[in-house]
Amino acid sequence: MVDYENYDAIVIGAGHAGSEAGLALARLGHKTLVLSINLDAVGFLACNPSIGGSAKGHLVCEIDALGGQMGRTADQTMLQIKMLNVGKGPAVHSLRAQVDKVEYHKLTKKTMEEQENLFLKQGEAKEILVENNKVVGLITASDEKFYCKSIVVCTGVYLKARIITGEYIQECGPNGFKQASYLSDSLKKLGFELRRFKTGTPPRIDARSIDFDKLEIQYGDDNIRMFSALTKNKMPNVKPCYLVYTNANAHKVIQDNITRAPLYNGSIQGVGARYCPSIEDKVMRFSDKERHQLFLEPESASTNEWYLQGFGTSLPVDVQRKTIQSMLGMERAFIMRDGYAIEYDCIDSTKLLPTLESKDIQGLYFAGQINGTSGYEEAGAQGLLAGINCALKLQNKEPLVLKRSESYIGVLIDDLVTKGTNEPYRMMTSRAEFRLQLRQDNCDLRLTEYGHNVGLVGEEQYNLYLNKINQLNKVRELLKIVIKPNEEINNFLQKLDEAQIITGITVENLIKRNKVDIFNLNEVLHLFDEFDYAVLSEINVEVKYEGYLKRQLIQINEQNRAENQKLDENIDYLSIDGLRLEARQKLNKIKPLTIGQASRISGVNPADISVLLIYLKKLGK
């Protein structure tokens, strides 16, 4: 066995969680080893090469506001970018970028290789070494031993992974990378209960075999914001995407072969995500639908591979081919890589603190799909917070725990450690009860101070944030200006079918009108010509949704009062009279840190919280 020198921290895995964790630790001055099962898998987009999407775009912008990497890399490697849900309210507007799979991996790896304090090594983790309930090191499959003070486990879908395509089953990780064969056993020895989850990926199709002229083209949005505040120039859309639809013939192929589908014949044991069903699941569960919408999207500018977003599947290869060739424009489709399902081990995330550190083993953190989540963005967010908290603990500083009321990341982590998940967890806007406050456009206002205080947000990014605050305050002052009746403003209002003004009215009250906004009003008044679009957009939302925002602030203050009521982690809930048995068991398992967290545990009702408050009052707390 070869003994290597000490590290402050070791990160197991270099996917989207591992890269964020490793970069955060290294940038905060800690000597960090990042162990990847294959260096070709660093930052690899195994499922589909897109970043963002509904709610996920919020996570990417929050990662950026805290000083993380994902948004910067996505901006620099994008092929197309769009703002989703623009027909709905601002709370659900979300960026989604189609990125270059090859370039994203290359840039992530290059960023990690060039980062001071970060050491990137190919190898498989075999055993986590623990003494006196503290992490002390790690042994690899090749019997190398590394000593460290902390470990962040970011193994993605690699733990005892197996690929399933019809009757063909491979013991390997995604895209043919080797599985992680040993670490599951080490985690079991340390007391972690493992479960099997499943995700999937669609086939890759040769662009030369697709009749694009028959498909509905989908262009990106020009001149919109990027994910990262540090991206100075608007990146060009260089590739279109296309809409494809299933039809009755395609559905019949699947229905006629459903007994061969691993999802239906028992070959798949892992639990899949309800919110991202396979194509065979869609066809069988929604048999009343005449067609399902799919997106044909490019993998990279350097390859002919395109993939069918929405066609995740584990069907046999001949069924995949027949189904796809039944669709308009896909009659000659040649599949370069077959779709597959992948099963893997993950842990029960309720065994973690809100810092993502193990409750039982000091210095052991978990982030990403090992915690039961799905998606690059969810993984990146957890990796960043695990890396930050690992670094803060090494520095003997207070941890960073984000509230549900101030970030989607806070919602994500609180859901995982408080409620747990029985299926791959996917972030959605509906999970955030204060989503109007947690918009994508104000991530910097909510989180940049945290990133700067921690030390990840540099002066350039911090000055951009301060400048935005300064502009916002100037615009808010201009909103107080009183506009007197005049021909120009009344003609403008008449064209919009809005009532003309006969007495003075503030700019703010004009913007509150249904068909008036800060942008069309400025075409008349030219009060805001010097201000950035992002600033004006923020103000427009503040004015239009003022009542709703104030109402949510009241609710947030009420929730924060509950979050400020701390609970001793050593309370024996089984001994508290008046608590229902289910509540006692759930509270004893989760060991909530606050009354607020206790109230969100499944199986704990308001009556139980009342009993708990009486108990604390008796203790003088």
* C-beta separation of 420 from 348 below 8 A: yes
CATH architecture of residue range(s) 459-551: Orthogonal Bundle (1.10)
pLDDT band at 266 (very low <50, low <70, confident <90, very high): confident
Lowest mean pLDDT among 14-23, 539-548, 612-621: 612-621
Does 2 have pLDDT greater than 60? Answer: no
In the prediction, which pLDDT does 3 show? Answer: 56
Rounded to the nearest 5 degrees, what angle is found at the Cα of 377, between the Cα atoms of 197 and 561? 95
Task: Give me the phi and psi of 306, to 5 degrees please.
Answer: -125, 150
Closest CA to 364 of 373, 372, 355: 355
Handedness of CA 11, 12, 17, 18 (dihedral sign): positive
Mean pLDDT is lowest, of 84-93, 443-452, 569-578, for 569-578
- Give every strand in the sheet of 340-347, ordered side by side: 168-170, 162-165, 340-347, 194-201
The helix (run of H) or strand (run of E) holding residue 340 is: strand 340-347
Is residue 279 within 8 A of residue 307, CB to CB? The reply is: no
Are the beta carbons of 140 and 125 closer than 8 angstroms? yes
Give the pLDDT of residue 197: 96
Q: In the numeric block, which tokens belong to residue 35?
A: 């162990």
* pLDDT(350) > 90: yes
pLDDT exceeds 90 at position 620: no
Percent of the chain at pLDDT above 90?
89
CB–CB of 556/443 below 8 Å? no
Q: Are 331 and 211 within 8 A, CB to CB?
A: yes
Q: Where are the domains of the chain?
A: 2-200+344-454, 204-341, 459-551, 565-618
pLDDT surpasses 60 at 571: yes
Q: What confidence tier does 1 reach under pLDDT thresholds 50, 70, 90?
A: low
CATH 2.60.40.2470 matches 565-618? no
Average pLDDT over residues 236-244: 93
> How far is 30 from 94, CA to CA, in rounded Å?
34
Q: Is a pLDDT exceeding 80 seen at residue 612? A: yes
Phi, psi of 378, deg, nearest 5 = -60, -40
Q: What is the structure's pLDDT at 293?
A: 96
Please determine, for residue 507, whether its predicted confidence score (pLDDT) is greater than 60. Answer: yes
pLDDT over threshold 60, residue 113:
yes
Strand duo 144-153 + 134-140: pairing: antiparallel
What are the pLDDT digits (tens) for 114-173? 999 999 999 999 999 999 999 999 999 999 999 999 999 999 999 999 999 999 999 999
- 353-377: per-residue pLDDT in tens? 999 999 999 999 999 999 999 999 9
Which pLDDT tens digit goes with each residue over 415-471?
Answer: 999 999 999 999 999 999 999 999 999 999 999 999 999 999 999 999 999 999 999
C-beta atoms surrounding 196 within 10 Å = 15
Distance (Å, rounded) from C-alpha 475 to C-alpha 11? 45
Residues 161-178 as b or e (16 or more Cβ within 10 Å = b): bbbbbbeebeeebbbebe
Beta strands in 493-589 (DSSP E): 505-506
In this prediction, residue 393 carries a pLDDT of: 98
C-alpha 76: how far from its chain's center? 19
Does the fold of domain 204-341 match that of domain 2-200+344-454?
no
Distance of alpha carbon 143 from alpha carbon 373, whole angstroms: 30
SS3 assignment, position 9: strand
Residue 621 pLDDT level (bands cut at 50, 70, 90): low
Q: Do the strands 144-153 and 364-366 form a parallel or antiparallel pair, or are they unpaired? A: parallel
Average pLDDT value for the chain: 95
Task: Output the CATH code of domain 2-200+344-454.
Answer: 3.50.50.60
CATH level 3 topology of 204-341:
Elongation Factor Tu (Ef-tu); domain 3 (2.40.30)
Amino acid at 254: I
